[in-house]
Amino acid sequence: MEIINALGRRKAAVARVFVKEGTGKILINKKELDNYFPSSMLQFVVKQPLNKLEVGEQYDIKINVKGGGFKGQAEAIRLGIARALIKINPEDKPALKAAGFVTRDPRVVERKKPGRPKARKRFQFSKR
């Protein structure tokens, strides 16, 4: 089997995911999953699509991720893995879609507007 690649995004994080047949090893930026994400909750988020389809031990996954924070990166990786699994086996799409792993979360930080301290905040109004 050749290497399947997919892209996942969340907030400011972008994850490039490369999946090939293997033994279930997950490398993120050349580090093991448990070294990159010490939090068991974030490890769980990354593995969700694999656990849903029960294919955790069938694929080796290499991920390059940049931007954002820990949670945004974990969710970007989750989307990338889900998209790669759908490329491998299109019949898995309904199960992953029902679990909400295929939907790209479009929420990003709103830009700061000129003449204001933040995106929506205004300076204090002074009547006199």
**Sequence-ordered list of residues with C-beta below 8 angstroms from that of 98, at least 6 positions apart, any chain:** none
Task: Compute the average pLDDT of residues 71-92.
Answer: 94
Q: How far apart are CA 3 and CA 15, in angstroms?
A: 16
- Residue 40 DSSP SS3: helix
Read off the tokens for 92: 């898995």
Read off the pLDDT of residues 15-64 as tens digits, 9 standing for 90 and up. Answer: 999 999 999 899 999 999 999 999 999 999 999 999 999 998 899 999 99
Task: Compute the average pLDDT of residues 58-83.
Answer: 95
Report the pLDDT value the prediction gives residue 25, as an integer from 0 to 100.
93
Q: What is the CA radius of gyration of the chain?
A: 18
Report the pLDDT value the prediction gives residue 53, as an integer from 0 to 100.
92
